[in-house]
Structure 1
Amino acid sequence: MSFEKPQIFIEALIFASDKSITEEEILQVLSDIMEDPLKIEEIREHIERIRVKYQELDLAIELVQINGGYQFLTKKDYYQVVNQLQIQRSKKKLSQAALETLSIIAYKQPITKLEVEQIRGVNCDYTVQKLLEKELISISGKADSVGKPLLYSTSSLFMDYFGINSTKDLPQMNELKSETNTIGEQTE
């Protein structure tokens, strides 16, 4: 490996770091692999050249000094589009509990939270609240039973999320492949 261009290695270190990396950390890494280690002033010069390079190029990222170190960040001009990506990704992430609760609501809708809890066997307050926040379910009315509990159903966003036109497109129980557990030998 040639170390004739330490600037490229410094750029790679900054890029690969998941948090800001200090000049001292860069010096330590490079001194472990280079025969003739750089001085801290040389590292600062290379970092400044990298910063200028990214500033001059029409790129979406820039080198920023943050928390005593350096990190590549998206330019502020692109905040809106990156923020939208984060919103989309946060909507896509569902925990196992959320998936279980959502599937119960999808197949049994309209359903009360108590009925969901009886099927799952655990409290579903938090999960139902998160599904409401993600707009995957909605309140579709109140039950006629004692206390008039809220009824939950899937939303139109649920259909978009799973790429279906209606709940009729959900897999039927006989379509789902089940694995059966058996003990001992099976005879036909």
Structure 2
Amino acid sequence: MTETQETGAPGPVGGQLKQIIEAALLAAGEPLSHAQLAALFTDDERPAGAEITRALEELGEDCAGRGVELKKVASGYRLQVRQSLQEWIGRLWNERPQRYSRAMLETLALIAYRQPITRGEIESVRGVSLRSSIIRTLQEREWIRVVGHRDVPGKPALFGTTREFLDYFDLQSLDELPTLAEIKDMDNIEPELDLEPVPPVDALDEADEGPEGASGEAAEPEAEHP
């Protein structure tokens, strides 16, 4: 540990620290952890951890009243457009924001609140079979993953949410999820999706299930895969 790190005094980067952090967050395009920010500097110039924290706090204060905000999420810190401005910023792209079905939102909510949970348990709660396209789309978004297998015959996969799920929904941990009583309408948990679009769920369903499964709840449940 250098003398600068021990004393917490500003390192050689001096007054540029906040600018460096701001530039790094803009260039990264994804959250950066405290450790990743510290790794930007050589041993001789690396500021104390407290200095990085202070620079982040000041950067957050600087963003007050601006169109972007500094947000702390599960993976670290990121600069992002304020949610209140998404309606206008979204017009920069010609493609319409992807809208997901109620079935997908219900599935994601069940996994988030009751994880780890199996496909069969999701079907039991919802009262209908769960289409493979829903699980696949959530996995492609990297919002859910297999976290284990239930110790019962067939060893069904257990699903849980990911760090990417927390990051996307501006959460630091699952403790920040709203209570189920606070969710009045499932549509309220769906922000505008500004990532690369994937085929709509209905299109995936028709490709996977055929005419028989495309009608909805009459589709036969598929077996769990170990």
TM class, shorter-length: 0.3 to 0.5
Q: Which of structures 1 and 2 has the bigger CA Rg?
A: 1
Q: What is the TM-score of this pair, normalised by structure 1?
A: 0.44
Quick one: higher RCO (CA 8 Å, sep 6+), 1 or 2?
2
Write 1 or 2 for the structure with the bigger share of helix. Answer: 1
Q: What is the TM-score of this pair, normalised by structure 2?
A: 0.37
